[in-house]
Amino acid sequence: MEDVVKAAAPALFEELIAENGKRIGVATLNVEKTLNAISLEMVDLLDVQLRAWANDAGIAMVVLQAAGEKAFCAGGDLQDLYRTMLDQHASGQREDITSNTYACDFFEREYRLDYLIHTYPKPMLAWAHGIVMGGGVGLMAGASHRVVTEKSRLAMPEITIGLYPDVGGTWFLNRMPGQLGLFLALTGASIGAADAIFARLADYQIDHAQKQALLETLLVQPWDGRQDDVLLTRVLLDAEHKAATTFAAAAMPLRQHFELIHQLCSAPTLGEVVQNIVDLKTDDAWLQKGIVTLVAGSPASTWLSHDLQKRALHMSLAEVFRLEYVVSLHCAARADFAEGIRALIIDKDRQPKWQPATLAEVASDWGNGFFDNPWPEKNHPLADLS
C-alpha cells in the first residue's frame, strides 16, 4: 500500500549518496498522464523538500527531473482553477480579486516556489527533457544549471488560454536577446534545444541517453560545499561536448530569424508590432504557425504581454513576481482566462469568445485595471520576497 501511495504522489524525492558521503537530492515531477502538470499539491511537496535540502549541509546539489519520456512539465493543472473562476464569476464578486481563495493560494505558492528555485543556495540541475511549457518553463528557468535535450520543446503559449507568460516570464522573456521575448509571448512559438540556449532559457544541450552516465559521474565528484557549482559545470560541459554532433544539424528558427523578429517587434506601438507580424509574407512553417496563434489568441493577453514587459523592464525578480501575482488574480476574475481554458481544455472546441474581441477594442484604461493592487506594499502576500 505504501508503494502505491508513493507512486501516486505528484512529486517524488530520493537522495543519491556520492563516494565521499555527500548526497544529491533528486526531485521528480510524477504525473506522467497529465504531462507532469503542476498542481497545488505538487507545488507544496516541492517547496517543503527543496527548502529542507537547502538547509541540509550534507546535500551537495539538487536534480529536478520528470517522470516519463514525453514531458518535463506541460504547465499548470488548470481544472481546479477553472472551477473556482466560474464560481467567482457566478458569485458577483469579480471586482474583488481576493475572493477566489484558491487562485490566491495557487499563484502565491507557485510563484514562491519559482522564486525559491531562482534564488536557491545550492547548484540545481533541471533536466528539461520533452515538452516544457508555461509553468514548466517557470520551474526550470531559475535553476542554476538548465539542460535541454534533443526532444526538448519549450513554449510560453498562454495567449491561447487568455493568460500571459507568468511564472516569472515577464522577467526572463525581457532578458532575451533583441525582441525575442516579446515575439515568443505574442506567438506562443515553440523552440528546441539550440534555440533555448540562444534565448537564454537553457545552458547545456545534452543527449537524453547520456543522463544515467552523467548522474553516475556526479556521484564520484569531490563535493565540498565550496566548489560544488564549478564541479557540476565541468561535468555538464564535458557531457555537452560529447553530445555536440547530436545537435549539430538541429533546426534553429529563432536564431535564423533573429534579425527579422527584432525588426518586426521593434515598432513603437503594439498595434504596429502585431500588424507587422500578421502581414508577414513567408513560406516558413514555424513563422506561419506563430502568426496563426497570434491571430487566434486573446487580444487582452496580447496587450498584457506587451505592457508587462515595458512596465517590468527595470524591476527586480521579486518585484516582477509581486506584479504578476496581482495581474494573474485580475485575469482569474475577468472573462478571457476561464473562456480560454474552456475552449482549449474543457470543451475543446477551440472557438473562444474573447472579451474584448479585437486588440483595437482594448482601451488603455481597461487594460490598466489589471494592475490595480488591493494591498498596501507591506501587506502584499509576496512582500517578503527580497
Chain segment 303-320, per-residue pLDDT in tens: 999 999 999 999 999 999
Do the domain assignments include residue 8?
Answer: yes
> Across the chain, what does the average pLDDT equal?
96
- What tens digit of pLDDT does each residue of 246-303 get? 665 578 999 999 999 999 999 999 999 999 999 999 999 999 999 999 999 999 999 9
pLDDT at 249: 58
Which residues does the annotation mark as catalytic?
76, 135, 158, 166
Q: What confidence score (pLDDT) does residue 243 get?
A: 73
pLDDT at 6 > cutoff 60: no
- 186 lies in which domain range? 2-379
Among 20-24, 156-160, 322-326, 362-366, whose mean pLDDT is lowest? 362-366
How far apart are alpha carbons 151 and 128 in whole angstroms? Answer: 9
Radius of gyration of the chain (CA): 21
Q: Is residue 135 part of a domain?
A: yes
Residue 2 pLDDT level (bands cut at 50, 70, 90): very low
Assess if residue 356 is contained within a domain: yes
Residue with cell 540562444: 198
Phi, psi of 12, deg, nearest 5: -115, 155
In a domain, residue 346? The reply is yes
Which percentage of the chain shows pLDDT scores above 90? 94
Residue 311 domain flag: yes
Three-state SS sequence of 61-84: EEEEEECCCCEEECCECCHHHHHH
Query: Which residues on adjacent β-strands are paired with residue 8?
Result: none
Q: What is the Cβ-side half-sphere exposure of residue 208, based on CA atoms within 13 angstroms?
A: 17
Total number of domains constituting the chain: 1
Q: In sequence order, what are the residues at sequence separation of 6 or more whose Cβ sits closer than 8 angstroms to the Cβ of residue 221?
A: 18, 60, 231, 232, 235
Give the predicted TM-score (pTM) of the model. 0.96
Distances (CA, A) of 208 to 193, 221, 337: 12, 21, 35
The pLDDT confidence band at residue 10, using thresholds 50, 70 and 90, is very high
Q: What number is the average pLDDT over the span 71-75?
A: 98
The pLDDT assigned to 1 comes to 40
Report yes or no on 384 lying in a domain.
no
For residue 385, being part of any structural domain is answered with no
Distance CA 290, CA 254 (A): 11
Q: What is the mean pLDDT of residues 215-227?
A: 97
pLDDT value of residue 247: 61
User: According to the model, what pLDDT value does residue 386 have?
Assistant: 84
The CATH number covering residue 312 comes to 3.90.226.10
Whether the link from the prior residue into 222 is cis, omega within 30° of 0, is no
Segment 75-126, tens digit of pLDDT: 999 999 999 999 999 999 999 999 999 999 999 999 999 999 999 999 999 9
User: What is the C-alpha separation between 308 and 369, in angstroms, rounded?
Assistant: 13
Within-domain flag for 243: yes
Q: Residue 213 and residue 378: Cα distance in Å, rounded?
A: 48
**pLDDT score at 5:** 47
